[in-house]
Amino acid sequence: MPNENERPAAPDEQVINLLMSVLKNRGALFLIGVVGVLAWLGSGFFIISPGQQGIIRQFGKEIRIASAGLNWRFPSPIERVSIVNVEQVRRLEVGFGRQVPEENVYMRREVMRSDAMMLTGDENIVEAQIIVQYKVKDPVKYLFRLRDPEGTLYTATEVALRSAVGRSTIDDVLTTGRLKVQEETRKFLQRLMDDYESGLFITEVRLQVVDPPDQVKNAFHEVVRAREDRERFINEAKGYQEDLIPRARGEAQKMLREAEGHKEEKVLKAQGDTVRFKALLGEYGKSKEVTWNRLQLETLERILPRANKVIIDPKTGSNALPLIPVQNSSFLDAFKDKSAISAPTKEGVI
């Protein structure tokens, strides 16, 4: 067992003497052997934390899985343990320009930059960034069936995302179709990872950013602005409507009220007039001639003071007409307060 003596014929007398004494003492030799074996066996203990699993290989062959707690295996080189966390949700970002090493997949800076660029089904270009969350579902497969599961996942994510984006149009990808793309990507990615026996389970695929490339961003913003303009135009027209219609309703009501007023007025006036007429008629029936003449004279009395009067004797003939400048104001003033009867007298035409 003493390995330090593998070197042939150590010349050091002291060491040889010591070893000689040990070898001669069989009890000591046995003790060393026992301690050595115990130490070796003791190195077989290992601890599995919650959420982890320990895959134990005996001479390279997977024989059992150790669960959480203190475990023991035959120490190396007989058995080996690989501990895998099966609860931890891991995370992978694609399209963020980060380099993920994968054997034999090309890796160039400029490619990384355009990592996020992809073609949509209608031959437009979008930039998309995606986050994949995954767990180790089957640690045996994860460890032994696929070389570089993480790198493979990265590539497969690109494949799945591009395939899903390729099946959509740019408008879908940028707006309503995002969830669909996400879901398609997840399903496809899971299928690929199952095909590759990766032992990985995709818990979530989340599209972070889906944008048109910088070169055309302005045009896309312009569309957003145009959409806003559309809403504005419509709102302005609605404003016009809301401004005009109530006012028109008001005007219409005004017109109606006026007409109603007119109607009432007419009817009431007519009623008033007829009441008056009937009263007068009653009086007239009692003494017709007097009433008749009285009304006639009273009317003349009211009319004549206002009008200019010219009294012409028909016997003088009509050649005297027109002869008096009746519009003369001083002439009018002179008759302002005179009675109808006295005025012609003053005129002196008689």
Partner 1 sequence: MNALTLLRYLPWIVVSVFFLFSSVIFVVDETDQAIITRLGAYKRTIQNPGLNLKIPFLEKANFFEKRILTSGALPAEYLTLDKKRLVADHVTRWKIVDPLLFYKTVRDLAGAKARLDDIVLSEMRRELASHDFSKIISSERENIMDTIASHARTQAKEFGIDIVDVRIKRADLPQEVQDSVFARMMAERQRIAKRYRSEGEEEAFKLRGETDKNRTILMAKAYEESQKLRGEGDATAAKVYAEAFSQDPVFYTFVRSLEAYEKSFNDKSTMLLSPDSDFLKHLRETYSQKS
The residues in 144-173 that bind partner 1, with binding defined as CB under 8 A, are: 144-148, 151-152, 155-156, 158-159, 162-163, 166-167, 170
Touching partner 1, residues 193-252 (CB under 8 A): 195-197, 212-213, 215-216, 219-220, 222-223, 225-227, 229-234, 236-238, 240-241, 244-245, 248-249, 251-252
Q: Does the protein bind partner 1 through residue 312 (CB under 8 A)?
A: yes
Neighbours of 343 (CB within 10 A): 18
Pick from 28, 281, 290, 334 the residue near partner 1 by CB under 8 A: 281
Near partner 1 in 65-94, by CB under 8 A: 77
Based on CB atoms, which residue is closest to partner 1, 32 or 256? 256
How many other C-beta atoms can be found within 10 angstroms of the C-beta atom of residue 146?
A: 19
| Binding flags for partner 1, 14-53, as an x/- string (CB under 8 A) | --x--xx--xx-----------------------------
Distance from C-alpha of 323 to C-alpha of 310, rounded to nearest angstrom:
10
Residue 338 binds partner 1 (CB under 8 A)? no
How many residues of this chain bind partner 1 (CB under 8 A)? 129
Quick count: other Cβ atoms within 10 Å of Cβ 233? 10
Residues 107-126 that bind partner 1 (CB under 8 A): 111, 117-121, 123-125
Q: In angstroms, rounded to a whole number, what is the distance separating the alpha carbons of residues 111 and 271?
A: 101
**Can you read off the two tokens belonging to residue 224?**
């957003």
| Nearest-approach distance from CB 112 to partner 1, in angstroms | 12
Query: Is 183 an interacting residue with respect to partner 1 (CB under 8 A)?
Result: no
For every residue of 256-299, DSSP letters joined together read HHHHHHHHHHHHHHHHHHHHHHHHHHHHHHHSHHHHHHHHHHHH
For CA atoms 34, 35, 38, 43, give the dihedral sign: negative
Q: Give the residue among 90, 50, 89 at the shortest CA–CA distance from 67.
A: 50
